[in-house]
């Protein structure tokens, strides 16, 4: 443990301080807060230093400064806050390889001593629990072992309270439904209620077999483009879900990470196939003898028109 503490102090000393940006008030304030935090850290006033580092991060979100906040909270013995700061540093990125490894290693150790909570709902609401007051949702936080009261407020001001007993190494998802959120979803207009959805779009063209000898492979190619597009949407959404599950596990479940990468690869392949298939279909239509393609490009838009 002494070696870990010594390494953390050395890492803090070696991280370069923030520099004020040209005329940027927020970044100037962030640089000032960072400088004050370093002075407080040297005076071993770790909790005050951590708060100053976090003030700097709020003004200018930089991974190395969030990492410094984690070091200070660690030295102050506030392990849940330290874990939150290390996680934010990794999320913001930009850490040097050695510091990124240190943050990952320390975070993995802390997760065994703390509970990790992903609060998903009410989206757009807030939660107050432990050291977090009015934290915007959704949010991922670490909490000490023990009983915790979560006070959740939705965007309309309705409040609910949930109590959870947490143990070291726990990783849970907390979703608290509010009636207001359900009503808001139900009140959204459906496509059938929109007048534009009841009639074909202006200028749409119906296929007319009597106007030309169009190759059936053109329709096969365009249909294939539609199928590949649909498949790409599905695999893309699945990849995002797998990534969220990986983050929700505290970045420890490699299975979700690997599945996410696999679905991302399938998404890229599907997009490429859709583009290729659509290109073949358009080419066959344009060269069928009675078809033409016109393109219009401007600095702000591009359009294509098919006639056959």
- The end-to-end CA distance of the chain, in Å, is 76
Check residue 243 and give its pLDDT: 79
- pLDDT of 47: 95
Continuous segment of H or E residues that includes residue 306 = strand 302-307
- pLDDT of 225 reads 76
Domain 1-112, second-level architecture: Alpha Horseshoe (1.25)
Beta bridge mates, 150: 162
DSSP 162-173: EEEEE-TT-EEE
- Taking each helix axis as running N to C, give the angle between helix 25-42 and helix 63-76, from 0 to 180 degrees, rounded to the nearest 10: 30
> Residue 214: what pLDDT?
53
Ramachandran assignment for 250, one of left (phi > 0), alpha (psi -120 to 50 degrees), beta (any other): left
Q: What is the DSSP letter of 33?
A: H
For residues 166 and 286, give the distance between their C-alpha atoms in angstroms, rounded to a whole number. 65
Give the number of other CB atoms < 10 A from CB of residue 177: 11
Specify the pLDDT at position 2: 42
pLDDT of residue 202: 32
Q: Quick one: pLDDT at residue 305? A: 53
What class has domain 114-178? Answer: mainly beta
- State the Cα–Cα distance between residues 37 and 48, nearest whole angstrom: 7
pTM here is: 0.52
Q: pLDDT tens, position by position, for the chain (308 residues)? A: 444 444 444 444 434 444 433 345 888 899 999 999 999 999 999 999 999 999 999 999 999 999 999 999 999 999 999 999 999 999 999 999 889 999 999 999 999 999 999 998 888 899 999 989 999 999 999 999 999 999 999 988 899 999 999 999 999 998 888 865 443 323 333 333 333 333 333 333 333 333 344 567 766 777 877 888 888 898 888 878 887 887 777 777 778 778 878 888 888 897 888 788 777 766 766 665 444 444 443 344 444 455 54
Q: What are the structural domain ranges in the chain?
A: 1-112, 114-178, 211-307
Among residues 140, 142, 139, the alpha carbon closest in space to that of 167 is found at: 142
Distance CA 78, CA 53 (A): 14
SS (H, E, C) 75-114: HHCCHHHHHHHHHHHHHHCCCCHHHHHHHHHHHHHHHHHC
Angle ∠(260,110,106) on CA atoms, nearest 5: 80
- Asked if the domains at 1-112 and 114-178 fall in one CATH topology, the answer is no
Question: What pLDDT, on a 0 to 100 scale, did the predictor assign at position 287?
Answer: 61
């Amino acid at each position: 443990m002494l070696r870990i503490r010594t390494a953390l102090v050395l890492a803090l000393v070696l991280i370069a301080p923030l520099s004020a940006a040209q005329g940027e008030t927020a970044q100037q304030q962030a640089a000032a807060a960072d400088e004050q935090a370093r002075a407080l850290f040297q005076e071993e006033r770790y909790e005050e230093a951590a708060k100053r580092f976090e003030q700097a991060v709020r003004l200018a979100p930089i991974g190395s400064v969030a990492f410094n906040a984690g070091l200070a909270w660690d030295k102050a013995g506030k392990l849940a806050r330290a874990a939150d700061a290390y996680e934010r540093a990794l999320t913001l990125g930009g850490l040097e390889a050695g510091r990124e490894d240190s943050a990952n290693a320390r975070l993995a150790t802390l997760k065994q001593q703390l509970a990790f909570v992903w609060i998903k709902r009410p989206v757009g609401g807030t939660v107050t629990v432990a050291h977090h007051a009015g934290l915007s949702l959704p949010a991922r936080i670490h909490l000490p072992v023990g009983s915790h009261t979560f006070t959740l407020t939705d965007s309309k001001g309705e409040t609910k309270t949930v109590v959870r007993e947490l143990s070291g190494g726990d990783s849970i998802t907390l979703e608290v439904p509010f009636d207001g959120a359900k009503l808001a979803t139900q009140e959204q207009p459906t496509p059938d209620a929109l007048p534009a959805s009841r009639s074909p779009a202006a200028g749409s063209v119906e296929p007319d077999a009597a106007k030309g000898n169009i190759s059936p492979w053109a329709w096969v190619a365009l249909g294939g483009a539609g199928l590949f597009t649909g498949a790409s949407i599905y695999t893309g959404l699945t990849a995002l879900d797998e990534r969220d599950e990986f983050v929700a596990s505290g970045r420890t479940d490699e299975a979700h990470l690997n599945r996410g990468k696999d679905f991302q690869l399938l998404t890229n392949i599907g997009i490429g196939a859709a583009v290729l298939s659509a290109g073949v279909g358009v080419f066959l239509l344009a060269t069928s003898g009675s078809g033409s393609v016109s393109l219009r490009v401007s600095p702000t838009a591009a359009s294509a028109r098919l006639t056959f």
